[in-house]
Amino acid sequence: MQEDKKQENLALKMYGKECTLNREEFIKKFNVKENGLSSNEAEILLHNLGYNEIKQAKPKKWYNYFFSSLFSPFNAILLGIVFILIYTDVLLPETPSYANIIVIIALVLTSTFLEFFEEYRSNKAAQKLKELVATTTSVIRNGKEIKIPIREVVIGDIVKLSAGSMIPADLRIIDSKDLYVGQSSLTGESDAVKKQVESDMAINEIDNISDLDTICFMGTNVISGSASGVVIKTADSTYFGKVANTITSGKPKTAFQKGIESISKLLIRFMLILIPIVFVLNAWKHDNLTAFTFAVAIAIGITPLLLPVILSSSLSKGAVRMSKKKTIVKKLDSIQSLGGMNILCTDKTGTLTEDKIVLEKYLDIKGNEDTRILKHAFLNSYFQTGLKSNIDEAVISRGLENGMADFEKLYKKVDEIPFDFSRRRLSVIVSDGTKKQMITKGAVEEILSICSMVDYQGQVSNITKDIKENIRQISKELNKEGLRVVAVCQKNDINSIENFDVDCEKNMVLMGFIGFLDPPKESAKEAIERLNKAGIRVIVLTGDNSEVTRCICNKVGINSNNIVLGSEIEKLSDTAIIRLLRKTNIFAKLSPIQKARIVRLLKESGNTVGYMGDGINDSPSLTNSDVGISVDTAVDIAKESADIILLEKDLNVLLDGVKERKKNIWKFNEIYKNGCKFQLW
């Protein structure tokens, strides 16, 4: 409690004034350049202040690896034995003998250097591999928006944020639109926090870090909305940097780390018990010096000198071999978890499907093709400024094919209400010079909930229960064909509205549907079969609806007899969900929190769980799983949360990585077994 209070006071001390200053005062006081820094200014600041890296996250020096290897638990015992031998073999006898001491020191040095070189080399290799998936951020330099590595961000940079962005440093927001940030990495709270340009809090009203509503903290991520922020602190001077020791120390050890630690303690304990027993049994027959020397020799014989060497070299070589299989290992310990995985949870899109969404249909409320629906969807997708999804790209592509390139000149964007995972819709307000129009697209049920009228061939009428049922039926039939359906609606009488927010999304006019096809991968069915034969059960966790999910899963060979929805999960206890998990392989219409909950319960049931995802909503599950798997094309927060990165989004690539790891551990077992035989002999 006292530590929490200390951290809150730290946040107030660091940001209290910057948080409560209004935008103009902040820009004037800190001499903010709205066109961003010049390249020369940024280079000078980078040279003077250093890279934007937390001390604990910086690459280790060579001597860190060396001393870590030298003073491992087993080597520490051997060095202790050396000091005993100095007394028994050098100081006590009339003729000193250095043979045993030299042998043990030689073994210690050999073990140390082998482990040092392997671990140092493997971490260097891992560092190079990590650079292939280095996270970038968008900043304004020389008046233009460019992407740079997060480590090159400097104080004074103007950072552009959108849904999925990682916050690269501590920022003061100067422009924002419905910005919501996930701060769970700092506060542990799952709910997103709204950030804005002007603070609603007075300096004396700020009680904790969550009250700093104009400051975005390094290490957090954008859930929805867009914004611009000025970098006010970087690296160790950030709030994250100040409390990094507390955060990293609270990270739990993996099952693999716990197992190695347990074996090490057991062996050392066994040795410490065995030495006095052997000494007592031999002391009555021989003199004390001989008995003690023999006991020490026994200790040397049972100590697995090469265990750390075999382990580190096995894992590091495995990481390098896996990189050749298009699998980048960010954390060496995750290799063991990957091989021991018995359940793989995965999203549907891009993993089971081609992830090449094509707009197939644009239909009115009665299921007839209507280019007016495509026009409205195009305006929504083209003018939205958030993270453009595959759906947006497909809509824009089809719109351009249908001669809508001139819409950029005919229409002007007025405002936007960004997408979020609770509303599951996105609104854009555009103007043609005479009137404003709000166009909204999103999940069918969510759009129906805000519509009071329908438009059919230009005629607007009140929506009825029968019309709603017919719309749901059309949507369901399209889903059975494997099409993902998004509804489109609009609202015209908004000229008098100046500030648009979620409350404006009501009494809208339903226009129709757009249907997307994302066909299953040809390799998916074979990959599922291979995973099942390898003892890995595949569970699909998706935010998509049940009918589309059923269609795709049937085609790739996943049993879809029983599909559980997120709305059902919400009502069940943990015990009930665990029972469901024994016989259910598909969960649809899930929120990010529900996905993470299922992953957590699978782990608590004794499984080794892998999670494969690449979206913003996958971050909690990637963190909760035993091994988080993402791809190099994933959003920033997904790549940061993952333990393993695939260079190709294909289950066969993942399976190759699993097999490589199992081959790696088999070699480790053989080497260790032979090593034990040699030592015992």
Residues tagged active-site? 347
Tokens of residue 638, six digits: 């997904």
- Distance in angstroms (rounded) separating the CA atoms of residues 600 and 623: 10
Which of 508, 504, 585, 522 is closest to 549 using CA atoms?
585
- Distance in angstroms (rounded) separating the CA atoms of residues 283 and 285: 6
DSSP string for residues in 595-617: HHHHHHHHHHTT--EEEE--SGG
The answer to whether 443 and 487 are in contact (CB under 8 A) is: yes
In 284-364, alpha helices (H): 288-302, 307-324, 334-340
- Distance in angstroms (rounded) separating the CA atoms of residues 657 and 646: 9
The rounded radius of gyration (Å) of the Cα atoms in the chain is 30
Q: Is 612 exposed, middle or buried (0-12, 13-18, 19+ CB in 10 A)?
A: buried
Q: How far is CA 501 from CA 179, 392, 506, 508, in A?
A: 12, 21, 11, 14
- Distance in angstroms (rounded) separating the CA atoms of residues 488 and 505: 12
Q: Which helix (H) or strand (E) holds 453?
A: strand 451-456
Sequence-separated (6 or more) residues with CB below 8 Å from residue 32: 26, 156, 158, 174, 230
Cα dihedral 33→36→41→45 (10° resolution): 90
3-state DSSP of 362-386: EEECCCCECHHHHHHHHHHHHHCCC
Q: Which helix (H) or strand (E) holds 326?
A: none
Three-state SS at 301: helix
* Cα 94 to chain centroid, rounded: 65
Which of 135, 222, 230, 144 is closest to 177 using CA atoms?
222
Sequence-separated (6 or more) residues with CB below 8 Å from residue 662: 339
Q: Is 519 exposed, middle or buried (0-12, 13-18, 19+ CB in 10 A)?
A: middle
Q: Which amino acid is at 433?
A: G
- Distance in angstroms (rounded) separating the CA atoms of residues 105 and 109: 6
Sequence-separated (6 or more) residues with CB below 8 Å from residue 677: none
DSSP string for residues in 21-60: S-HHHHHHHTT--TT-B-HHHHHHHHHHH--S--GGGSPP
Sequence-separated (6 or more) residues with CB below 8 Å from residue 93: none
Q: Is 35 exposed, middle or buried (0-12, 13-18, 19+ CB in 10 A)?
A: exposed
- Distance in angstroms (rounded) separating the CA atoms of residues 426 and 420: 8
